[in-house]
Structures are given as C-alpha cells and as structure tokens.
C-alpha cells in the first residue's frame, strides 16, 4: 500500500472510531469506560486503550497490537482485547469489532435461549439482513481467560454475540458496518424485550 494512502486510510478510520464512540455515548448506548472497539489497519489491530471513554474519545486513544497479541504502543489496550483478536483470527474478513454494554442487549442476555447460536428473535427482518444470527455466550467473569475460552469455542457459530449478563460483541467489514450492525442488534433486543413484556414470544 502506498504510504500516503495508508496514512490517509488510517486517519479516516480513527475519525470514524471517534465519531462512533461519541454517537453511542451521547445516546446512552454505553456508559463510563465500559465499552471498547477495534479495527484492523495494515495487518495490525488498533484497539481503544484501557480506561478510555467513548464520550471523550480522541484519535490517540488507541493501542496498537500485532496479530499475536503483542502491544506495539505506549497505550495499554483494553483488557478485553483477546475477544477482538479471536474474531479477527477466526474470521479474517472482519475489519472492525465493537463491544458495548447496551441496556437492551444486556437485558435480553438474561432471557433463556431456545437456540444459543441464534438468541435474539427476528421480529423484524433487519437483524438478519444487516448482521445475521446472534449467539449467546455463557457467563464468565469479564476480562477472564474463562470468558475468552468460552467465546472462542462459539465464535464460528454466529455472526454477532451477546455475552450473558455482560453485553454485545459485534464484528463488521468496517467500523461503520460494525456500528450499523450493533445498532440493529440493540434495536432488535429492545423490540424483543418490549414484546416479551406484552406477552408476545
């Protein structure tokens, strides 16, 4: 890749990341420093640094890692970086991953699933159209090796994921694609939760 072109592409990805983070935060789709995001550029993973907040994210709030999990930057990566790396390794077509603790995604993760590879009902067609099947990953402590192992065992079973009692992990071909898919997951979980409350299953 031409060096100048590569730099321009990286700058655009960082701008998209900052916009996505602030958009999610300002609309209460995430809170505090709980969310994280990553993208691939030039064979490396850029992931939001440990302790960063989507609400005031800046373009230098990213750590850089190689695909073996070695940190190449001064910034310390989010402790949940192995979740992201496992998606990239298993699904090399993935260009970005978002992980949030959105209210309705978390609420729906408590609902027992008839099929844990396809846990959110497709009451509207858009979840399947934009993302696909959403798998339910059994609960393990956030940031733990047990969580990373449980996630890895099921990563190929679905297109997006709900970590039980925790939140969503959504891959995409690009940051914006992952953002649109995350929005659809949260909206589908909201609709499913409200219909369940109304007695519709």
The CATH number of whichever domain residue 145 belongs to comes to 3.40.225.10
Provide the β-strand partners of residue 64. 46
At residue 2, the pLDDT reads 81
At residue 145, the pLDDT reads 97
pLDDT greater than 80 at residue 201: no
pLDDT greater than 80 at residue 21: yes
Backbone angles phi, psi at 178, to 5 degrees: -60, -40
- The pTM assigned to this predicted structure is 0.96
Percent of the chain whose pLDDT exceeds 70? 100
**Is-contact 67 44, C-beta < 8 A?**
yes
Lay out the sheet containing 62-65: strands in order across: 62-65, 44-48, 36-41, 96-100, 167-172, 160-163, 134-137
* Residue where the block lists tokens 């993760």: 109
**Residues 151-191: pLDDT tens digits?**
999 999 999 999 999 999 999 999 999 999 999 999 999 99
As annotated, the active-site residues are: 80, 126
Domains in the chain, number: 1
Domain that holds residue 48: 3-197
């Amino acid at each position: 890749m031409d060096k100048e072109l590569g730099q321009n592409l990286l700058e655009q990805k960082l701008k998209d990341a900052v916009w996505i983070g602030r958009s999610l935060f300002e609309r209460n789709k995430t809170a505090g420093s709980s969310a994280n995001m990553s993208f691939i550029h030039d064979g490396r993973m850029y992931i939001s640094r440990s302790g960063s907040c989507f609400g005031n994210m800046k373009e230098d709030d990213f750590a850089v890692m190689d695909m073996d999990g070695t940190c190449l930057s001064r910034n310390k990566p989010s402790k949940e970086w192995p979740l992201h790396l496992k998606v990239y390794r298993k699904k090399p077509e993935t260009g970005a991953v978002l992980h949030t603790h959105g209210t309705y995604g978390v609420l729906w993760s408590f609902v027992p699933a008839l099929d844990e590879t396809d846990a959110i009902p497709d009451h509207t067609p858009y979840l399947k159209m934009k993302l696909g099947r959403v798998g339910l990953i059994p609960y393990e402590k956030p940031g733990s090796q047990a969580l990373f192992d449980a996630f890895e065992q099921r990563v190929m079973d679905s297109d997006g994921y709900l970590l039980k009692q925790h939140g969503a992990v959504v891959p995409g071909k690009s940051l914006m694609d992952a953002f649109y898919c995350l929005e659809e997951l949260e909206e589908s979980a909201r609709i499913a939760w409200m219909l369940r409350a109304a007695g519709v299953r």
